[in-house]
Amino acid sequence: MVTAPPTAIQRPPLRVRLRDFWRRVTEGMELTQLWSQFHTEARASYRLYSRDVAARTPDDLTHRRRWHMVKEFFWALLEKLSPARRVLLLAAMVMLVFPSSGFSYNGADHEVHVVEFDFHFWGGLLMFVLLMLEIADRVVMKRDLQIAREIQTWLLPGAPPQIPGIAVAYTTRPANTVAGDYYDVFPRPGKTIDQSRIVFAVADVAGKSIPAAMLMATFQASLKTLSTAQVELTELVSNMNKYACSNSQGGLRFTTAFLSEYDAARRTFHYVNAGHNNPILRRSNGTIERLDVGGLPVGIQAEAKYESATVTLAPGDWLIIFTDGLVEAENARQDEYGETRLLAAINAGASTTPPEMLNRFMAELDLFVGATPQHDDVTCLLIKAGEF
């Protein structure tokens, strides 16, 4: 049996290979999308370094202020690296500044040999090595953050539960990979079936990213654990506050929270507002009420006292619970979204369902901020009372 010789593999044309390479690098993004992404990342990096520069620049400094800010910006960059990488960066910068040089010597054959040393090449090589080390750190950190995000997702509720008399929708958008915002809806059994309640919780930990996410997990664990005790809502919040104060670094790591219990039989919300943004209660006739009874944020003062209040929902009433990331979102002109726009969106969508209202909120927020980087976590929980 005679077999045909293998045919040579035809390589695609150079134009096709370049196109595939560009698509792999850009992941299919258009130039406008790439520029928008670069602009967003550049602004975020500028804010990171400018905070350090501003903290080290006296307000009354007038003489040589520009040179002082350049020097502090350099140190803000350098101190983000490990000591070994700082030396590597300084060596690379010195080599890039120096011109190429060489020296000559007489060999054994009485000929003159010239040896050149290209500082630019070795400086660029050191920069490349430094870039590789930083990328490796970023990949490891990104993997760890992704795992943390998955764990945090497990702590949050999934699909909204079916609760008699009301419809519920919620969402959260972290400013970074992980968030410091928390929301939850879960049953709290009472001594009897008639005393059972549904807990609605929305909280905002001071700060962002990993530290806030760790405190958010602590808040969630303490809430779920302490909720099993047969105590009033005010005592529950007081117990959570005492626990939080033992881990709040003297009140620096506090948490604003809105905690409520829903009684389906009476259609009432019994709530405590611990320093949180006042939720908006929109009655079916358009009247606006604010749920502002409570006390200090959790984690500031161990002996803080908390008060509670009760509201009754009638058919068509809306309850909007949110974190400050929603109303304090900024556009390119640094204008805040604000509660005026939020109230307008609520009034415009009063006849819709909570999922539809939530989509309206997020779409209008995206339209308002545009390409401006999100500087805080955004969380919103919507409740609408149905027919009896």
Q: What backbone torsions phi and psi does residue 122 show, to the nearest 5 degrees?
A: -70, -35
Between 65 and 260, name the one with better pLDDT: 260
Q: pLDDT digits over 276-305, tens only?
A: 999 999 999 999 999 999 999 999 998 999
Q: CA 244 from chain center: how many Å? A: 22
Confidence of residue 388 (pLDDT cuts 50, 70, 90): very low
Helix (H, G, I), strand (E, B) or coil at 324: helix
> Cα separation of 219 and 226, whole Å?
10
Annotate 234-269 with DSSP letters as a single string: HHHHHHHHHHHHTTSTTTTS-EEEEEEEEETTTTEE
Pick the CATH number of 160-385 from 3.60.40.10, 3.30.420.10, 4.10.140.10, 3.30.1360.30: 3.60.40.10
Confidence of residue 9 (pLDDT cuts 50, 70, 90): low
Domain map of the chain by residue range?
Answer: 83-98+117-155, 160-385
Which residue is associated with the tokens 């809306």? 318
Q: Percent of the chain beyond pLDDT 90?
A: 35
